[in-house]
Amino acid sequence: MKKSVKILWYVFLTGIGSVVLLFLLANFGLLGSMPSIAELENPTASLASQVYAEDGTLMGKYYLEDRVNVGFKDISKHVINALVATEDERFYEHNGVDPRALGRAVFSLGSGGGASTITMQTAKNLFTENWGTQNKVKRVIQKIKESIIAIKLERNFTKDEIITLYLNTVPYGDNIYGIRNAAKTFFQKEPDRLSVEEAAMLVGMLKGGIYNPRRFPKLAMDRRNTVLNQMVRNSFLSVAEADALKKKPIRLNYKKMDETAGIAPYFRMILGEDMKKWCKEHKKPGGGNYNLYKDGLKIYTTINPIMQQYAEEALAKHYSSMQKVLAAQSDIKSGAVWKGHDNILEAAMKQTDRWKAAEKDGTSAAEIRKSFFVKTPMRVFAWNNNRSIDTVMTPFDSIKYHKQMLQAGFMAMDPLRGDIKAWVGGIDFKTFKYDHVNINTKRQVGSTMKPLLYSLAIEQNGFTPGTTVEDVQQSFGSYGQVPATTASCSGASMPMWKALALSKNCATAYIMKQLGPQGNDGAKRFVEFLKECNVQTDVQPFPSIALGSAEISLYEMMQAYSMFPGRGFNVKPMYITRIEDRNGNVLQTFIPERKEVISDVTAYNVVEMMQGVMKFGTGRRMWSYDVTGEIAGKTGTTNDNSDAWFMGYTPQLLGGVWTGCDDRFIRFSSTAMGQGSSVALPVWAYFYNKVLNDKSLSIDTKATFVKPEAMTNESFSSWESSTSLPNEVEGGTNGSATDYGDDGLPPPTPENIGGESKPPVNDNNNPSPTGTKPPVDNKPKPAPANKPAGPATTPPPATPKAVLPKKVTK
């Protein structure tokens, strides 16, 4: 054999040996990690975790890559045909690697087409990382690994399973992954309903972002038509069919889900934070913690989508009008409200994206600050159905504009089970991310604290609703006088139920004094009682807490109040019923957490007193909103009208409202407008009116609070009309009729503005992967706290009666 021939054989065999060695090294993971047999048998990709409402409605998702898997039977045959025709003509013939395509790629150096099969691309999507590298050596190694994994996939899966894996993992641009999300986003269709031309367009997009029809419609149409030609070439379409389809324009129905889309965005934000903690505390069967953004968890909640919608609509209806009142105040219009608060505006400027981006670019602080006083086109929040408006103003003025918005928090729940039915954390999640419902957001509670103090006095000190109390300022030694002034003290004696109905501050201080006559002894007892009510806030034992000086979250107040309609049982607000993994295996279930805090007799006594609040006390304007049935509640207003509250309940539903501005110096100057009965109560009333009129929610207007058998006599015999009007602000004075409903000015006109929640794009009637709604929770529930005995309560005449804004006819 000639030497040259020997050298040729040597080079050839060395090359073959090197290739074999490379494959062996890659196969055994010596050129980088390779998936195990178990991983190949159970391939995984990042799956969005999904949140469901109590009726199975998809509320929203948590994801890095928005992906939801579907089965082969749920994908249109047109998608399969288009994909095979375009990406891998011999898909059903090869074993993962196509020798013909490989030879073509090698001899043409890639100009004649690539060598990757659908199976190799699936291997790349599922099992290799950094496959976008430009390093040629790394790309060769990756191709070798992809080929090995592809062959192994072919041994473990059918062709249908492989093509389904591919379609579930491939990206479509716009951070959309998987055929189902692509079909829903671009066409609002399930993938099994895609037409030929729609399937061809989506398959055409796989070649790159320049074929996105939303951004490049001409290129997308050309690419779609190329796919149709490929389908003709592979006998999936006739020439005539393809020609007819190519004449059709691309008709998109594009709706992409984002973090603000879906139901109850504030709630989902808080839920997401809780779920991150849950994931850190729970490990997967194979090891490692769960990941909210990748593991496709299914989180089933207690939220009722209908009540959520009504809550958002009620809030929008009232605050769209109240914001006009606040904006019309002289100190707001003139800007005087900001005098002395330059530091707040300065801090707000430096927190904006505008400031941070300019600072990152190296712009000096002086230049950045100067830019904040240049008028600029921008979009700001506004009370309309879009919750925005385009305008021109300086960025500095936009900060003040948004800070002057009245904020709010609303929660509704089942007072027996604790199931949260509605959660609205603010007026617009897109603009204002701060949630005002959760346990970490605390504001002064004002007179809503009083029913808790009164229940302690009844439970532990032998008080009854008829016990006489003195409406006189009280001295607590070194802890000072409560209230701070005698302005609101009448000096009169009255039964306790009347003191609560009229929200008498001095009488409430008297009750605190009876709990412990020395110093702050009574306050210490009250703080311990609040802990029994599961108020987790560290409330300091100052006697002024009797009047609501403590800062407590709406979430905690809801739990504390649950013991009244709950017959003495306090229940923790609950919003998750169960958590499942991606395959539907239940990981954890949740049940109500209830404990007895007061007796049913005490609870009923407080309920009746709080009905008095609604009949002729600070809550009597409730009856102006066309609601019926038994309602108990308490308003609350803090000093200078910085915070306004209303806590109300029926035998079947408990709801709480807080409102105010995030900066407390921005507030209503008029008590007529700024008190709880004006700013907070109407939201509850609008909400409950809608709930009552929706028969699907099964709220019984004839339901009554259950009187304990141990109570043989009425706690007090009759309700009185009162000419002494209530005041619930410490240091305030009892007002006139103009302070409590009719101030002689045209009332603000409420507007019917839609709720913020929008059902997510990827919603359907069968949200679970199995095509069935989540199973109904059939766990035994506590006995209902109502009885359908007797007629519905007829609201008594009120003096004076609030004047309802005139209804707008459209």
Where do the structural domains in the chain lie, given as residue ranges? 1-31, 67-256, 305-403, 407-466+551-578+591-739
**pLDDT of 248 above 70:** yes
- Predicted confidence at residue 123, as pLDDT, reads 77
Residue 333: count other Cβ atoms within 10 Å of its Cβ.
10
SS3 at position 787: strand
- Nearest in space to 27 (alpha carbons), one of 122, 139, 147: 147
Cα separations in angstroms, 203 against 45, 164, 182, 229, 779: 20, 13, 10, 13, 46
The backbone torsions φ and ψ at residue 73, rounded to the nearest 5 degrees and listed phi first, read -70, -15
> 């025709």: which residue's tokens?
85
- Predicted confidence at residue 797, as pLDDT, reads 34
- Predicted confidence at residue 34, as pLDDT, reads 58
d(CA 322, CA 316): 10
CATH fold for the domain made of 407-466+551-578+591-739: Beta-lactamase (3.40.710)
Count CA within 13 A, CB hemisphere, residue 304. 18
Q: Which helix or strand (DSSP H or E) is residue 79 part of?
A: helix 77-87
d(CA 404, CA 344): 13
**pLDDT of 779 above 90:** no
Percent of the chain scoring above 90 in pLDDT: 61
**Structure tokens belonging to residue 69:** 């898997």
pLDDT tens string 586-623: 999 999 999 999 999 999 999 999 999 999 899 999 99
Mean pLDDT of the 125-130 span: 60
**Structure tokens belonging to residue 418:** 């604790």
- Predicted confidence at residue 142, as pLDDT, reads 65
The backbone torsions φ and ψ at residue 803, rounded to the nearest 5 degrees and listed phi first, read -95, 120
d(CA 489, CA 774): 57
pLDDT tens string 719-776: 554 444 455 554 443 333 333 333 334 445 777 888 888 765 444 433 333 333 333 3
**pLDDT of 789 above 60:** no
pLDDT tens string 378-390: 999 999 988 999 9
The model's pTM is 0.76
Question: Is 407-466+551-578+591-739 the same fold as 67-256?
Answer: no
Cis peptide before 791 (omega within 30 of 0): no
- Predicted confidence at residue 746, as pLDDT, reads 45
Mean pLDDT of the 403-432 span: 96
SS3 at position 594: strand
pLDDT tens string 294-331: 889 999 999 999 999 999 999 999 999 999 999 999 99
pLDDT tens string 132-165: 555 555 555 666 777 777 778 888 888 998 899 8
With respect to CATH, is domain 67-256 assigned 3.40.50.150?
A: no
∠ at Cα 539 (536, 543), nearest 5°? 145
SS3 at position 705: coil
